[in-house]
C-alpha cells in the first residue's frame, strides 16, 4: 500500500463539501482503484467556524490559505474558492511549492491561463480542471485523451445549465425570459446576479477552455463572439418551433478554411439534433473529429456531487501519477478567428400589413444574393402590422449585415429586426 | 524528442487499414500530443500480397505473427485479427516479450480475460481495449477514469449497431425482422452469418467487459441473460409505440440489493429516454454513479476510422506511458447474479374474441398480485381472435413466470404468449 494522497482544500462551499462527501462515501472504491487512501487533511475557508454540509473529522480547518498551499503535509491542492485574483495567487504558490493542483474554476483557467500554466510548466506539476467545464461530464478527458487520435473539427454544445433551464421553460411553457429567470433564481439554478450566466460569460469561459484543448487556440474569451439571452422572446421560440427548430444558447468552436470560429449565442438548431434535446439544467456537448466522426456526451452540468465527481476523477489521476501535463502552447497556425463566416439566419421583423411588402423584402434579399429557405407571415392581432419571419440559406455574415441594414431602412419595416443564427448540426 | 513508438499490427483488415490511415493523417497532431512519432513498422497478415486500403510504405509485411510479437524492433502490438484462440496465444506472447498490447477484440477480452490479464500482470504491461466496446465512443476511459470518483450503479445502452439498425428499420418503416436483417447485410452492417450480432453474443461480450470494469464482476458471459432479436415482430414494436415505448436490444448491468443484474434482451424503453433515441447503427451508453448521477455517451459503434480512433487513443496513452494497468481482480462480494429481480413486463397474447376473456386474464394476474399499468385489446382482422397487449407494473420475475404459465393454460388464450421486459430508465 502506497502512502495516502493528502489533500488540501481551498474553499468548503457546495462543491467543496460535495468533494469531502464523495471522498468519504467512495473511500473503499477509491483505495482499490489507486492503491492508496485519498485523504482530506486540511482546508482553508473564510469562516472556520461556519457549519458545513460534510464530516470534517480529522481535517485541520483555518483561514490561512497561504499556509495551506505551502504546507509540507499537503500533497495536492484543490482550489474551489472561485474568483480569479486570489485563486491565481494561491494556485501559482501551490505549484511553486511543488504541488499539483485540481480546480473547478473556469474563470481562473480561461482568464489566467498564461500565469497558471507558466507556473505549472516551471514546477513540472499538473493543473487538472475536469470540473471547470460541464460539471460531471468528463468532457476534458474525452477531448484530450479519449479522442486523442483525432484532428478535432468541431465542438458544439450546451455548457451553461442556467440559460438552458430558462430557454427550456420558455420553449415548453411559453413563459417570457424575465419570469423564467426569476424562477431559475428561486430554484437556485441562477445566482442573485445572473449576469455571468445570462450574458454568456460563463459559457464563453468554458468554450475558451474547450477550444484551447481542441485547436490549440490561446484561451482568450475576447475572441469569442458572445451574445446573451436577454434579446430572445417567447415569440421567436414559437416561430422557431413552427419551422422545426429549437432555440438554444449554443457554444460552438469550429475549424474552417479561414480559421477557428468561436461563438456563444442564441441559435436555432433542428429539433431532432442532439443539442435540441438537451433540456433543463442538463449539459450536452458534441465533438467531431476526422477519425471518430461525431460523438456526444450529456449529463449534469452542475451540482455539488456531480461537480465533485470530476474533482475526484482528477484526484485519482494524480494519485496514480498519470495526470496529463499542462495544455499545449498555442498553435498559432490555427489561432485565427475569421471576421466573416457563412451561416444561415433567422430574421423576424414587424411590417406594415399591406400588399407588396413581401415583394419589397424579397427584392432586397435577392439583390444581395441571399436565398430564402422558409418564410412565415402572421397578422398581429389588434394592430395594423404583420410579423414576417424568414430563414435564409447559408450566407456570408457581411451580406446578411447589409441586408438587415437595407431592410431596416424600408418604410414598411417597423421596429428593430431580430436576427439569430441557424446551425444545421451534424447530429 | 523521444524515440518513436514502433507499432506492430496483427491483421490489416478494415480496422487495421483504418488505424494505419489515422496514424498517417494525424501524424503532426499525434506527435505534438505525445512528443514522439507513432510509427507502424511491421504487420502480420494471412496474405502479404493482398492489396490494402492504406499506404504501407516502409512497413515490413509478412505472415509471421509469432516473429512480430517477439520482434525487438516492435514496441507495442496491436491485435486486430479477431477470434480467440490464436489471438490469445499471440497477445500473451507479446506481453511475455515485454510489449504492451492494444486490441479491438471483444471476444478475446471477454472470453480469455483470465489468461490475458494473468500474462499482463506477470509482465507488468498494459492491455488496452477501448476499441473493443462501442467503437469510437471512449466508454472504457469514461467508465474507468472519467467516473473514477463514483461507485457505479448502472450501465445501460445500445452496444450493437447491427441489431439497432434492424430494430430502427422495423420501428420506423414497419418492416419485419427477416427483410430488415437482409437489408443490414446488403449494406455491410451485418455479417453473412449474423448469429453473433442477432443472438446478442456480441453485445454480451461487450456488456461482460463493461460490467467487469464497473462492478468488479468476473468477465463471464454465461452470467448474462441473453435473448436475441429473432422473436421480435413488427406487431410488438407497433403496440409498444402505441403505449409510448420503443423496443431496443438493451444491454444492462445494474447493482441491486441482491447482486449485479446482467442482461441483453429486447426491452421496452420510454420513447423519450436517451436509449430510445439512439437510432440506426449508432451506439449509446448511459452510466449512473453515486456522485455524477447519470451521464450518457453516444456515437458510432463501428466503422474503420471510428474504431481506429479508439485504437489510436490507446496508443497515445501507451506512448505517454500512462496506459492503465489491467482491470482489477474480481470483487467477489459484488459478483452475485440474482436469480429473481423485480421488473415491469410487456405481454402480448392472442385470445378468443368473446365476452369474459378480459375477466379471466385479470383474475389470473390479480391472483398472483400482478397489477396492470396499461392494456390494449384489438380485433384481429378476418379471424375469430383478438389480440391483448398489457403492461404490468413492477413484479418479481418468478411471479411473472407463473402468471404466463397460468395464462397459457387458459383455453381462451391461443398460441404462445410473447413477453418482453420494460425498463423505466432514469433518463
Percent of residues, chain A, with pLDDT higher than 90: 86
pLDDT band at B191 (very low <50, low <70, confident <90, very high): confident
What the block records as the C-alpha cell of A321 is 501519477
Averaged pLDDT score across all residues of chain A: 93
Yes or no, beta carbons of A291 and B145 under 8 Å apart: no
pLDDT confidence of A181, banded at 50, 70, 90?
very high
H-type alpha helices, A142-262:
161-173, 177-186, 195-198, 201-215, 234-242
pLDDT band (50, 70, 90) for residue A81: very high
- pLDDT classification of B335: cutoffs 50, 70, 90: low
Q: Is the pLDDT of residue B86 over 70?
A: yes
Residue B217 has pLDDT above 90, yes or no: no
pLDDT on residue A285:
98
pTM of the model: 0.95
Cα–Cα dist B80/B9, whole Å? 7
Residue B425 predicted with pLDDT over 90: no
CB nearest to A25's CB, from B30, B290, B299: B290
Q: Cβ contact (<8 Å) for B303 and A316?
A: no
Contacts of A309 in chain B (CB under 8 A): 147, 149-150, 289, 291-292
Instruction: Say how far apart CA B36 and CA A73 lie, in whole Å.
Output: 36
Out of A32, A141, A291, name the one closest to residue B146 (CB). A141
* Per-residue cell: B12: 490489416
**Nearest-CA distance from A103 to chain B in Å?**
15
At residue B281, the pLDDT reads: 93
CB contact under 8 A, B297 and A293: no
Confidence of residue A334 (pLDDT cuts 50, 70, 90): low
- Higher-pLDDT residue of B69, B339: B69
Q: Determine, for residues B299 and A296 on separate chains, whether the beta-carbon distance falls below 8 Å.
A: yes
Nearest to B299 among A22, A295, A320 (CB): A295
Q: Average pLDDT for residues A247-276, to the nearest whole number?
A: 95
Among partner residues A25, A151, A317, which is closest to B26 by beta-carbon distance?
A: A151
pLDDT of B334 reads: 55
Q: Cα separation of A248 and A8, whole Å?
A: 38
Q: Is the pLDDT of residue A330 over 70?
A: no
- Interface with chain A: mutation pick from B126, B214, B292, highest number of A CBs within 10 Å: B292
Q: Given this model, what pLDDT does residue B383 score?
A: 73
pLDDT for the residue numbered B345: 97
Q: Which residue in B has a C-alpha nearest to residue A143's C-alpha?
A: B138
Q: How far apart are CA B100 and CA B91, in angstroms?
A: 9
Best A295, A305, A326, A331 residue to mutate vs chain B (most B CBs within 10 Å): A295
Are the beta carbons of B150 and A316 separated by less than 8 Å?
Answer: no
Mean pLDDT, residues A23-44 taken together: 96
**pLDDT at res. B144:** 95
pLDDT band at B336; cut points 50, 70, 90 = confident
The pLDDT of residue B331 is above 60: no
Residue range B145-162, pLDDT digits in tens: 999 999 999 999 999 999
Q: Would you call B136 and A292 a contact, using CB atoms and an 8 Å cutoff?
A: yes
Residues in A touching B309 (Cβ below 8 Å):
147, 149-150, 289, 291-292
What is the nearest CA distance from B352 to chain A, expressed in angstroms?
A: 42
* pLDDT number for residue A231: 87
**Secondary structure E strands in A208-258:** 225-226, 245-256
Q: Which residue of B has its CA nearest to A28?
A: B151
Distance CA A422, CA A404 (A): 16
- Is B359 among the residues known to form the active site? no
Mean pLDDT over A116-137 rounds to 96
- Percentage of the residues of chain B whose pLDDT score is greater than 90: 86
Q: Do A292 and B300 touch (CB under 8 A)?
A: yes
Instruction: Check whether B265 has a pLDDT greater than 70.
Output: yes
Closest Cα to residue A205, out of A189, A226, A190?
A: A226
Mean pLDDT calculated for residue range B9-30: 97
State mean pLDDT over B235-253: 97
**Helix, strand, coil share of chain A (percent; to 5):** 40, 25, 35
Amino acid at each position: 500500500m502506497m502512502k495516502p494522497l493528502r489533500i488540501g482544500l481551498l474553499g468548503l462551499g457546495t462543491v467543496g463539501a460535495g468533494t469531502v462527501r464523495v471522498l468519504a462515501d467512495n473511500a473503499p472504491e477509491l483505495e482499490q482503484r489507486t492503491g492508496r487512501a485519498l485523504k482530506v487533511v486540511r482546508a482553508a475557508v473564510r469562516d472556520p467556524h461556519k457549519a458545513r454540509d460534510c464530516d470534517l473529522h480529522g481535517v485541520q480547518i483555518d483561514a490561512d490559505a497561504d499556509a495551506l498551499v505551502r504546507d509540507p503535509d499537503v500533497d495536492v491542492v484543490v482550489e474551489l474558492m472561485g474568483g480569479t485574483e486570489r485563486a491565481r495567487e494561491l494556485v501559482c504558490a501551490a505549484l511553486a511549492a511543488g504541488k499539483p493542483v485540481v480546480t473547478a474554476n473556469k474563470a481562473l483557467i480561461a482568464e489566467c491561463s498564461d500565469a497558471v500554466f507558466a507556473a505549472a510548466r516551471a514546477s513540472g506539476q499538473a493543473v487538472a480542471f475536469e470540473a471547470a467545464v460541464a460539471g460531471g461530464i468528463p468532457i476534458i478527458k474525452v477531448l484530450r485523451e479519449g479522442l486523442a487520435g483525432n484532428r478535432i473539427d468541431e465542438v458544439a454544445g450546451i455548457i451553461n445549465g442556467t440559460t438552458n433551464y430558462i430557454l427550456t421553460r420558455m420553449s415548453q411553457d411559453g413563459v417570457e425570459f424575465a419570469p423564467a429567470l426569476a424562477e431559475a433564481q428561486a430554484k437556485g439554478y441562477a445566482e442573485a446576479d445572473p449576469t455571468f450566466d445570462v450574458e454568456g460569460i460563463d459559457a464563453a469561459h468554458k468554450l475558451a477552455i474547450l477550444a484551447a484543448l481542441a485547436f490549440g487556440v490561446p484561451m482568450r474569451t475576447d475572441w469569442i463572439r458572445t451574445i446573451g439571452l436577454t434579446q430572445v422572446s417567447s415569440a421567436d421560440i414559437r416561430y422557431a418551433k413552427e419551422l422545426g427548430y429549437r432555440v438554444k444558447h449554443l457554444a460552438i468552436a469550429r475549424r474552417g478554411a479561414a480559421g477557428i470560429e468561436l461563438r456563444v449565442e442564441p441559435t436555432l438548431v433542428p429539433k431532432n439534433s442532439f443539442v435540441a434535446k438537451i433540456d433543463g439544467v442538463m449539459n450536452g456537448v458534441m465533438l467531431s473529429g476526422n477519425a471518430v466522426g461525431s460523438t456526444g456526451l450529456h449529463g449534469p452540468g452542475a451540482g455539488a456531487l456531480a461537480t465533485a465527481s470530476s474533482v475526484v476523477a482528477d484526484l485519482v489521476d494524480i494519485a496514480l501519477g498519470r495526470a496529463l501535463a499542462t495544455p499545449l502552447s498555442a498553435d498559432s497556425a490555427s489561432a485565427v478567428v475569421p471576421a466573416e463566416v457563412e451561416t444561415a439566419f433567422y430574421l423576424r421583423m414587424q411590417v406594415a400589413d399591406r400588399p407588396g411588402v413581401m415583394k419589397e423584402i424579397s427584392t432586397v434579399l435577392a439583390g444581395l444574393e441571399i436565398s430564402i429557405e422558409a418564410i412565415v407571415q402572421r397578422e398581429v392581432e389588434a394592430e395594423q402590422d404583420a410579423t414576417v419571419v424568414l430563414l435564409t440559406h447559408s450566407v456570408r455574415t457581411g451580406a446578411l449585415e447589409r441586408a438587415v441594414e437595407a431592410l431596416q431602412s424600408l418604410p414598411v419595416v417597423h421596429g428593430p429586426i431580430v436576427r439569430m443564427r441557424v446551425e444545421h448540426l451534424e447530429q
